[in-house]
Structures are given as C-alpha cells and as structure tokens.
Amino acid sequence: MSAVPHADRGRDGLPFFRAMITTMAAVLIAGFVIQLATGRSSFGAPLVVHVHAFVFMGWAAIVVTQAWLIASGRAGLHRTLGSLALAWLCAVLALGALVTLAAVRTGRVPFFFVPQHFLLVNSATLFAAAGFVVAALVLRKDHNWHPRLQIGAFMMLMGPGIGRIIPMPLLAPYAFEIASVIPLIVPLIGMARDRRVHGKVHPAWGWSIGVLVAVLIAARLIAFSPVGDAAYAAAAAGSQAAETDGRAFPPPPAH
C-alpha cells in the first residue's frame, strides 16, 4: 500500500512530473548558455571536459525524453530507453569523476572552490544522484516513488547549471553548497503539490532533501580533515597540483 492516500495512479501525476523535469532541464541548460554567451567559458577546454559536457547534456536529454514518453503513453519506448539510460549513467559517473580529477591535477578548479573540498563534494553529489536513479529503477513499477526519485536525482545534478547563473565568486567559501541547495525548491514544490492534491507529502521528497543536505555536510567535514588531506594528496600525486595546498583557494584568473 502506498504511503500517500489517493496517490498518483497510472498517468494522473505524469503531466506535473513532466513539467517539473522539463523546467529543471531548461534552467540547467540556461546556466551553461549564459556562461558561454558572457565569455566566461569557451571551447578551448581539454578534451575530457568536452566529452563530459556531451555525456552530461545527453543525460539531461534522456531524462526529459523519458518524462515526455511516459506522459504521452509510450511506455514501451520508455522502458527501452531506460536500458540505455542505465548504461549512460555509468558514463556520467566515469566522466564526472575524470573531469573532477583532471581539474584538480591541472589546477583548473574554479578560484571560488577549495580544491580539496571540490574533489570530494563534486564526486559525492554525483554518486548520490546515481544512487537515486538506481533506487528509481528498482522501484520503476511504483508510480509514486519512481518519478519522485528521478526528479530528486536530477535535482542533485542542477548545481553546475545554477552555479553558472548566480554570482559564485561572491559566495565563497560556501559557493558549492549554495548552488546545490537552491534546487531544493524543486522537492518543496513537489511537497506542496502532494499536500494540495493528496493531503499528505510523499516521503520521496524528504529523502531527496535529506540525502543532499547530508552529503553536503559530510563532504565539507571530510574535506577539511586528515582523510581529505590524504584524498587530495593521492589525487594530485605526480601532477602540478602536488605542491599546492589543497585547503587553499586557487588564485583568480589573470585578466
């Protein structure tokens, strides 16, 4: 029995979930477009960054497509694409870890992030989102948990897009956390909708908020501990970053 009385059955809540995911993707993409249009980023980045961008945006496209397919009743194609999505998720994890490691080793960590913290929190957030996707796949037959968990996973990956819209240099030393918690408006909207439509909030929204907040807190505590020191030393070993302090902010770019 569902935890929510009169919960979404069949297609009842699908238009709402589709609208939420589409809006989230639009905001995410807008952040990268704004960054490019204002000249704060370019196509001169290393190859791994471009591959990561392709894979990451491909994931966003898959999530949006899945939402539109199921909302339009094309469940068969939705399930078929779900198999590709799982494989694509592995690529997202691999490229996300690689691009984070490359940024640390080559001194390309943005100057408003502490490299040691960036290394851990970026990876932790990514894998937390992947965990929610896996949970959603396990519960794919549950019309209440599945879409909410997918939205929670996508919400955890919105930080890079939000961070390209807000004034990150002014938000140090908590720039990463601020960019990551702004998307919490998504589960809050979901909770308000549940309360209005069903009279009770589905627990998936609470899990999304709780896990993200827990990951952000844990990553900061670990980053500025001996464990974080060891992780940074291992990541930077043999690179130009090996002689730098992983707890110190990098210098801002020269103009």
SS3 12: coil
Kindly tell me if the per-residue pLDDT of 6 is higher than 50.
Answer: no
In this structure, is residue 141 part of a structural domain? Answer: yes
What is the pTM for the complete model shown?
0.89
Nearest to 171 by CA among 182, 187, 155, 186: 182
Per-residue pLDDT reduced to its tens digit, 7-42: 555 456 899 999 999 999 999 999 988 888 877 666
**Count of domains observed in the chain:** 1
pLDDT tens-place string over residues 33-86: 888 887 766 667 788 888 998 999 999 999 999 999 999 989 889 988 888 888
Q: Is residue 253 part of a domain?
A: no
User: Is there a domain that residue 255 lies in?
Assistant: no
Residue 250 falls inside a structural domain = no
Decide if pLDDT at 4 tops 60. no
**What is the pLDDT averaged over residues 191-204?**
95
Query: Does 198 have pLDDT greater than 80?
Result: yes
pLDDT score of 189: 97
Q: Buried b / exposed e across 196-213, counting CB within 10 Å, b at 16+?
A: eebeebbebbebbbebbe
CA 212 to chain centre: 10
**Does 4 fall in a domain?**
no
Domain that holds residue 162: 14-237
The whole-angstrom separation of Cα 69 and Cα 62 is 10
Asked whether 142 and 8 are in contact (CB, 8 A), the reply is no
Mean pLDDT estimate for the chain: 90
In residues, how long is the chain? Answer: 255
In a domain, 249, yes or no: no
Q: 202 lies in a domain?
A: yes
Q: Assess if residue 74 is contained within a domain.
A: yes
- Token duo for residue 233: 């030393």
